[in-house]
Amino acid sequence: MKKRLAILLSGRGSNFVAIADSIRAGKLDAEIALVIANQSDAPGLAIARERGLNAVALLAKGFAREEREEYDRRLADEIEKNKTDLICLAGYMRLLSPEFVRRYPGKILNIHPSLLPAFPGLEVQQQALDHGVKFSGCTVHFVDEGLDSGPIIRQAVVPVLDGDTAELLAARIIQEEHRIYSEAIALVLSGNYRIDGRRVYES
């Protein structure tokens, strides 16, 4: 049986589209069981609907910070109803509660547009430019209870060029994101890896 993915997103959804395209092209043996957005106007949600996928808007409005766990319980209900094997954060700009993360050990992946542990958080490309790094890139990692801090599965390096703006750098990085996210998902679904401390070894 095909492994079932839940994709969580908040915006444009280009990483989600890249994953869906990898599946369509036969490069990733999985199916997208569920796309959840925490914003009803997320373009990625509209694309998921156009593609005939099961797409759900789970609005965070009305859930104050202290109600994060309640929101995440609804998220987990939706995920469990759809019997998914792996949860992929694809531009999901909402922190997950520790309770949610503990519920799915080793079953949540995230993609982040920097070479972690450099530049976690937001406005990442601007952080990289402000720091003057010569290379940046992207990282796919397991999600733990910290911010962008779990064991690293895949990274790709992208040069920072003179004259780069945050937008130009982001455009170069996202191309690599689209490539490595599907590779990382395939690896995790295959089970051909082991985690030792912070290190992920392919076996």
Q: Of 46 and 80, which CB lies nearer to ligand GAR in the complex structure?
A: 46
Residue 203 CB, nearest approach to ligand GAR (Å): 27
Which of 17/189 has CB closer to ligand GAR? 17
Q: Which of 112, 131, 141, 178 is catalytic?
A: 112
Q: Please report whether residue 177 would count as binding ligand GAR according to CB under 6 A.
A: yes
User: Is position 154 an interface residue for ligand GAR (rule: CB under 6 A)?
Assistant: no
To the query of whether residue 131 is one of the catalytic residues in this protein, the response is no
Question: What type of residue sits at position 99?
Answer: E
Distance in Å, CB of 10 to ligand GAR, minimum? 7
Residue list 58-87, contact with ligand GAR (CB under 6 A): none
Q: Which residues are catalytic?
A: 112
Positions touching ligand GAR (CB under 6 A) are: 9, 11-15, 44, 90-91, 111-113, 124, 148, 174, 177
